[in-house]
Structure 1
């Protein structure tokens, strides 16, 4: 055996002598670096050590001979040297370590003449990558890199989406080539765990092929004459395909195809092709071949840099059948080319500053929906819109800066883009510091600058406070109809957004400090100074001159306001510990704020303070308006109390009740602005409605919560939300939530009827793998809107009796606005789910329609995923398509 450390031929077994043959640490492999330790029986005594560097064997790369650091460590119960056959055998839990590879077997024999290693019985070869090869017999070269294996099984653990997944290859016979490639004859591949009770049962899915070649150097797996089996049943056949092995996260090649079908598009298939241009950037080309419209081109470029990442996606098509879509303004049937461009990025300037963007541009509002192009930046609720934004954000230990710009693209059929604003910039700054001596406490500075521009005023007609304009008699019955806005008049129209350019700069400096006396009373005095400057140009856009002519009374050019305030917050918690009955706390709360009256109410635009909701969460806010365009004025007191209990067993309950009272000055909520904000809010009277909340949690898995607003005079319900969130495990494998909401009519705000609904969702885990799930959205006041739409439509028919008269169809009290129901199976290797979805869509005429879809999703981990979506029926005007699908 050659020994490069000496440079001469020698037999280490002969040098050690017969006296040490019983316990020999031997280097028995020509081409092995031998560092051998033999675990011999205690009665046999010590051991011996031999070292050497290998020469290149017949099946070994020449470069391998230049690795003197790779040594062989052999451990076995017994070593047998056969001089006649020139072999060395390790028997009894033999374990051989060569470099990063480990070979384990009941018996290992090394044939010096052939430079081959023969392993038998429970053979296990562990690679440097962690992959484990097991078999009944292995015939390998002396460096374990090449050879043949009987009854081979390969198991490897990889990370997929942050979760460990074990993959398995198996074959009755396999060949290992140069340590880089394994060829499986009549092999199988799966990522499923074998059945514990019956390992011979076929896995949930597997690929069976005449030949499987796994190349560890190129990280590819090729399958010849392959069949996909589900529960042992063949379901798909491919003569040949190649995929990246599970260790690869990025590799050039085809991705899972996506199938499309609709009346307008025809049948088609999208074939994504991924190009791994570099470790930090790639390109995905996804042409979709559609039988009715031609080729839809899609491409996405992604680039990751040291400080951030961005992506760019473009899509477009020259339609061969534009007439499949409705003509404008209800569709894009008059367009030959349609497309979109989308981009998203974020970059970190340093550890405190970051910048980025998320933009969407489309040729028409129906394109993304018509061609089933998915975008997470698009809201898919009742009203669809795409929001484009760019931003700069800075964050300190006690400060925050954010500058943004927004562009809103309405995607519903009835949206008028000229009413959508372009908002830039929106700048917010918030800084908190410790108050200077002797004030102490906390000083906070807040600032906001907002500028927006729109071409046309966004308006809405509301019920006249003196009655109804139209009272037609139809079939002997008199209907009260709401008027429409032809000329702006306060009380009959509200302005959601004003045409022109509006810019506002606001700043607020505040201070607060809490004092606790010996009795436990908490006094928190506070003060703030609020200033606002408005630069307003309420232009008559030319589109709505008649409508907006009366808004000319609104302040134009420069306006300003200054509002100082002082106040105090008082709380006196009473705490009692009743041992096993828990800790009970009763806390009266009183707050008084003194400030001048709000000025120029209704003479300034209101863009960001329209979502006024008076409830328990806003009762003790210094300013109950949601944005900067409005500011609460006058002297006001907020009164309330809350009770809570926490028991050692985990029971928790909390209740709060209170009201707000205007003491002096002008009530900001009594005078509506051009959007009527403040009216019908529960705060418009001197004494507000009562607000309250009750929350009960018997344990950490179940929570009941109810909050509401109740009339000050008779405690009538004006607003209520109540529901439960529960995870019933381990008592029952059910997760559920259910909420009921009721909002009284707010005619001054454009809600002529009450709004009432119920939403619920639940998931039942039948077994740890099987589940069923469902959700429902029930509109309990939809019939009121249908009734009013019918009245308006009938009045229009009476004014111009062309065609058939509209027919009233009552949808019933419980209208299923949206729902989903489905189920599926999920385990370590497979996810399959089927869902039937009914979702609300905004039709072209503003009526409520429902879109019915069946969605099938299948994921075979490490291979890919696919989904199939089929629309069962859509209103003809809901998506700009001229025929029902």
Structure 2
């Protein structure tokens, strides 16, 4: 309660008292509680409805059983039960005194202060007219987090400065103090938003696990320089490891985190993250350095930088650059099997202009090739520069839409090309277009015509045309219908039937003499069936005289529009055999494309099913397919089963689960099994134990670590103390990546 003079009347006696408020602070959060844990209140009940400043302006009411004045020392004596109330704040005690001359409110008997955010009790206390307060033998509780503690003495003043002597703090229930923080002293400055602790020690199960002679920390949402919780770990190749991050709050818009990590088998590694925020944008620099890796025999490093700068609402600069010392970095440090598929790192700078009808990108791009075994002829080109412009002008006369796609780019290599037959040079690609969208109720027809020109200016190409080109018209008519009907006993479902037909004509042009800078064949899917070019990139324009057909049916909730089921099938029919190919590509003479079918089912509350298949009707066999089934009867119960198949490439079964097995225990696991290799490529199992005030998780993993098929094992540990912090957070992050549908919030769901 704030400094405020108040006139109080008892049985005709009138006097003046000065009541002083106590300013406190606490950590707020929620946690999953077990049946035998004390209930945790919604923190919104404590924070949203209680305004300390607003409460301080309300009238003060003082009540006591009786009162009298000691005339010899001018002290006002309140006897019996004494209650001081101001808004939602209250002080309860017995036999208080008020010194009229000094304004001090003193209590030698037990005293209790309470507001909706906390409760403080003490063996005795006093309130001073300058706004300060002292509680002796104090105990405090924070209901929103079930946090509680004690201090030999709590001192607070009107400036928001609080000191606590010989402090104990925990979120565990009374009598079950599994973890406890002890400190000889804690000082909190609420105005500056910082606090500090002296001789702080964290005990877990009676065992000291962390100690520091001095530590500073933020109060509320303020950032503060200092150490973060350590992260332990272990793997077969690196051995036991421990990371101890240190956070540096450089400025309100700059910060950095330095993470030294010690590996038993490798040595010391330093990771750095620098972040900045400007009035134009933001960026991050990541840098890792491991000198003289004892396993690898060399210095190792990884650097990545990305930045987004918005000069105006329409003009933006995006930059990303990365460099790694060797091809095993991602395999050794955390990615597991995913690291074996990283063959190059992309580097680019994009200057983008976004207009109402125009979009332009000026780009520079190259790659660091990580895998030295890649044939130089197959390595990506450096593009410097590249200008890409696209425009769309809808609602023109006669309902026409005009469009333009334009690209000018220079392709080269950043290595010695002399030993190889590599083509470099300039390319221009232009495609003006006109469309006529015609739409009615349940029907649309969109004829379109464009003319695509691609020309080159090649370098160092003796004996061949160094200015080849290609041009051809592209004619298409896309159309579709949408039929709807209400379905079900209560007409609660809406079923649609959506046929789609697109005719495409592109005349054949001989393109065998054209280079291939960046063009490839996209995977066949439903989107690809209705594109005007089966190639991705400008170096090839596929000839076409074909009809693409598709049929989609959806089942929706008639009231909410929620989609319960979607089924789609599509195929392209060729009136002429396509003749344009890339080097090494076979000509498809079957007269039709493979059939693509997809199914997405969410009709049965706890179940979701996704399926896709590419079927070759000429060979009557599937070329690729996938099935995924998820069972989720509750937010924290997830089971997944999947199957992936690509002919001649992979055939895998994937299963994962996150499931409580008792009130306190949960299990996690995943296995990716290769049917072709008859072995598990990646599998892990984990257990979690959860109490009222802490959670421990362990995950053991074995996985293919490199392209040679060698295996590695690792162990992730995590100890989370409710209301405090987490020692090691990699287990949570790993489970989020590995188990479809899992999130940290689902693990803590009530």
TM-score (norm. length: structure 1): 0.66
How far residue 574 of structure 1 moved from its aligned partner, in angstroms, is 6.1
Of the candidates 810, 813, 817, which is equivalent to residue 681 of structure 2?
A: 817
Query: What SS does the aligned partner of 2:490 have?
Result: helix
Aligned twin of 1:686: 591
Aligned twin of 2:346: 387
Equivalent-residue separation in structure 1 for 2:6 and 2:688 (angstroms): 64
How far residue 527 of structure 1 moved from its aligned partner, in angstroms, is 0.9
Equivalent-residue separation in structure 2 for 1:239 and 1:641 (angstroms): 67
Aligned twin of 2:179: 205
Aligned twin of 1:304: 277
Aligned twin of 1:224: 199
- Do the aligned partners of 1:170 and 1:184 also contact (CA within 8 Å) in 2? no
Deviations 1:385-439 (A, max 9, x none): 4332322334455654444433322444745789343234454444333231213
Q: In the superposition, relative to structure 1, how do residues 145 and 356 fare at CA in structure 2: closer, same or farther (>3 Å)?
A: farther
How far residue 673 of structure 1 moved from its aligned partner, in angstroms, is 0.9
2:59 counterpart of 1:149: no
Equivalent-residue separation in structure 2 for 1:651 and 1:267 (angstroms): 48
2:666 counterpart of 1:771: yes
Aligned twin of 1:722: 627
Query: What SS does the aligned partner of 1:27 have?
Result: strand
Aligned twin of 2:495: 584
Of the candidates 632, 641, 645, which is equivalent to residue 742 of structure 1?
A: 645
The answer for unaligned runs of 5 or more in structure 1 is 5-10, 33-69, 158-165, 327-332, 459-485, 489-497, 541-551, 745-752, 783-813, 871-885
Aligned twin of 1:852: 713
2:638 counterpart of 1:659: no
- Do the aligned partners of 1:605 and 1:674 also contact (CA within 8 Å) in 2? no
How far residue 531 of structure 1 moved from its aligned partner, in angstroms, is 1.8
- Do the aligned partners of 1:515 and 1:524 also contact (CA within 8 Å) in 2? yes
Aligned twin of 2:477: 567
Of the candidates 57, 69, 88, which is equivalent to residue 83 of structure 1?
A: 69
Equivalent-residue separation in structure 2 for 1:816 and 1:342 (angstroms): 32
How far residue 502 of structure 1 moved from its aligned partner, in angstroms, is 5.7
How far residue 841 of structure 1 moved from its aligned partner, in angstroms, is 3.0
Equivalent-residue separation in structure 1 for 2:730 and 2:615 (angstroms): 45
Q: In the superposition, relative to structure 1, how do residues 499 and 262 fare at CA in structure 2: closer, same or farther (>3 Å)?
A: farther
Deviates more, 1:385-394 or 1:257-266: 257-266
Aligned twin of 2:31: none
* Superposition pairs of residues 828-867 of structure 1, within 5 angstroms: 830=694, 832-843=696-707, 847-860=708-721, 863-867=724-728
Q: In the superposition, relative to structure 1, how do residues 697 and 303 fare at CA in structure 2: closer, same or farther (>3 Å)?
A: closer
2:98 counterpart of 1:110: yes
Aligned twin of 1:525: 446
Q: In the superposition, relative to structure 1, how do residues 631 and 134 fare at CA in structure 2: closer, same or farther (>3 Å)?
A: farther
Deviations 1:458-501 (A, max 9, x none): 9xxxxxxxxxxxxxxxxxxxxxxxxxxx999xxxxxxxxx6534
Of the candidates 594, 599, 603, which is equivalent to residue 505 of structure 2?
A: 594
Equivalent-residue separation in structure 2 for 1:272 and 1:691 (angstroms): 50
How far residue 617 of structure 1 moved from its aligned partner, in angstroms, is 3.6
Equivalent-residue separation in structure 2 for 1:207 and 1:643 (angstroms): 60
Deviates more, 1:616-625 or 1:568-577: 568-577
Deviations 1:88-141 (A, max 9, x none): 53976733559xx955325554233554223566622569xx776444643232
Aligned twin of 1:503: 427
Aligned twin of 1:349: 311
Aligned twin of 1:480: none
Q: In the superposition, relative to structure 1, how do residues 532 and 771 fare at CA in structure 2: closer, same or farther (>3 Å)?
A: farther
- Do the aligned partners of 2:183 and 2:197 also contact (CA within 8 Å) in 1? no
Deviations 1:687-723 (A, max 9, x none): 2333323333224553223222223246432332222
Q: In the superposition, relative to structure 1, how do residues 697 and 255 fare at CA in structure 2: closer, same or farther (>3 Å)?
A: closer
How far residue 535 of structure 1 moved from its aligned partner, in angstroms, is 2.4
RMSD: 4.5
Of the candidates 537, 540, 544, which is equivalent to residue 630 of structure 1?
A: 540
Whose relative contact order is higher, 1 or 2, with alpha carbons under 8 Å and at least 6 apart?
Answer: 2
The answer for unaligned runs of 5 or more in structure 2 is 22-55, 732-750
Equivalent-residue separation in structure 2 for 1:23 and 1:563 (angstroms): 104
Equivalent-residue separation in structure 1 for 2:406 and 2:12 (angstroms): 84
Query: What SS does the aligned partner of 1:380 have?
Result: helix
* Superposition pairs of residues 155-166 of structure 1, within 5 angstroms: 155=142, 166=145
- Do the aligned partners of 2:256 and 2:273 also contact (CA within 8 Å) in 1? yes
Of the candidates 89, 107, 112, which is equivalent to residue 123 of structure 1?
A: 112
How far residue 350 of structure 1 moved from its aligned partner, in angstroms, is 2.0
Aligned twin of 2:36: none
2:35 counterpart of 1:171: no
Deviates more, 1:208-217 or 1:707-716: 208-217
Equivalent-residue separation in structure 2 for 1:358 and 1:618 (angstroms): 29
Aligned twin of 1:435: 395
Q: In the superposition, relative to structure 1, how do residues 523 and 82 fare at CA in structure 2: closer, same or farther (>3 Å)?
A: closer
Deviations 1:793-833 (A, max 9, x none): xxxxxxxxxxxxxxxxxxxxx32112232233568965542
- Do the aligned partners of 2:82 and 2:92 also contact (CA within 8 Å) in 1? yes
Structure with the higher fraction of residues in strand conformation = 2
Equivalent-residue separation in structure 2 for 1:247 and 1:417 (angstroms): 55
- Do the aligned partners of 1:94 and 1:105 also contact (CA within 8 Å) in 2? yes
Deviations 1:669-700 (A, max 9, x none): xx431252x65xxx652223333233332245
Query: What SS does the aligned partner of 2:535 have?
Result: coil
Equivalent-residue separation in structure 1 for 2:388 and 2:664 (angstroms): 48
Aligned twin of 1:421: 381
Equivalent-residue separation in structure 2 for 1:375 and 1:389 (angstroms): 23
Q: In the superposition, relative to structure 1, how do residues 317 and 583 fare at CA in structure 2: closer, same or farther (>3 Å)?
A: closer
Aligned length, in residue pairs: 684
- Do the aligned partners of 1:657 and 1:693 also contact (CA within 8 Å) in 2? yes
Equivalent-residue separation in structure 2 for 1:74 and 1:509 (angstroms): 77
2:217 counterpart of 1:244: yes
Q: In the superposition, relative to structure 1, how do residues 361 and 583 fare at CA in structure 2: closer, same or farther (>3 Å)?
A: closer
* Superposition pairs of residues 397-412 of structure 1, within 5 angstroms: 400-412=359-371
How far residue 176 of structure 1 moved from its aligned partner, in angstroms, is 0.4
Deviations 1:322-355 (A, max 9, x none): 7x455xxxxxx4x5x5544432222221223322
Aligned twin of 2:254: 281
Q: In the superposition, relative to structure 1, how do residues 780 and 93 fare at CA in structure 2: closer, same or farther (>3 Å)?
A: farther
2:523 counterpart of 1:620: no
Query: What SS does the aligned partner of 1:438 have?
Result: helix
Of the candidates 125, 129, 132, which is equivalent to residue 138 of structure 1?
A: 125
The structure whose Rg is larger is 1
Of the candidates 438, 445, 458, which is equivalent to residue 514 of structure 1?
A: 438
How far residue 83 of structure 1 moved from its aligned partner, in angstroms, is 1.8
How far residue 86 of structure 1 moved from its aligned partner, in angstroms, is 1.6
